[in-house]
Amino acid sequence: MASLRLGDIAPDFTAETSQGNIHFHEWLGDSWGVLFSHPADFTPVCTTELGTVANYFPEFEKRNTKVLALSVDGLASHKEWIKDIEETQNVTLQYPIIADENRAVATLYDMIHPNANETFTVRSVFIIGPDKKIKLMLTYPASTGRNFDELLRVIDSLQLTANYSVATPANWKDGQDVVIAPAIKDEDIPAKFPKGFTKIKYYLRTTPQPNK
């Protein structure tokens, strides 16, 4: 299968998870989704990542975003590991972990990079829109825990783009000015962006964040 690219439909699958069987597209429904892989159960960095996502769960919920983890170990292993995560990270895990023992989902999403490791997944992240299209793909090495503030930031940016004709500049943070899409003509800006705009160059026009 050709590798996945932004804009592709996220491959659908059925999988066993720590919260029962999931049919991915049906499970996503109209929500946004984050699918993220873990090299293996009972590994230190993954344990902190899963705890962090449990702590951030309300933030994902606020953004109408479901989270789904994946690790290439079995269900019995996941259930034991979840006890450790809850104990050491002081959380309750509210979201499912796929038990991808046969690596079916990992293969579908190209999460195993054999030159990095033949059996374990790298740390992949996919953000999927309500249209089931892939909006972001990130690949981290096994030894680097991901920055979940950055994932929330990207979701905020994607949702602004989906709801308003704006993009977000470098290092943008929620609440800061955004960039008006080049397709919008100057004369159409007042109706679309009543908070006003600053024209720095004909192609670089900023406006206060529309949903604040």
Nearer to ligand BEZ, 39 or 51 (CB): 39
* Dihedral sign computed on CA atoms, order 20, 21, 24, 25: negative
Tokens representing residue 154 in the block: 């990207």
CB of 49 to ligand BEZ, least distance (A): 8
How many other C-beta atoms can be found within 10 angstroms of the C-beta atom of residue 155? 22
Alpha-carbon span 109 to 13, nearest angstrom: 10
* Dihedral sign computed on CA atoms, order 10, 28, 64, 81: negative
Nearer to ligand BEZ, 135 or 146 (CB): 146
CB of 113 to ligand BEZ, least distance (A): 13
Tokens representing residue 88 in the block: 């050491």
Cα distances (angstroms) measured from residue 110 to each of 2, 67, 99, 154, 196:
9, 19, 16, 22, 44
Nearer to ligand BEZ, 50 or 160 (CB): 50
Residue among 42, 206, 67, 46 at smallest CA distance from 142: 46
**Does the annotation mark 184 as catalytic?**
no
Marked catalytic residue, from 46, 97, 122, 155 = 46
CB of 41 to ligand BEZ, least distance (A): 9
CB of 83 to ligand BEZ, least distance (A): 17
Q: Which residues bind ligand BEZ (CB under 6 A)?
A: 39, 43-46, 142-143
Nearer to ligand BEZ, 145 or 208 (CB): 145
- Active-site positions read 46
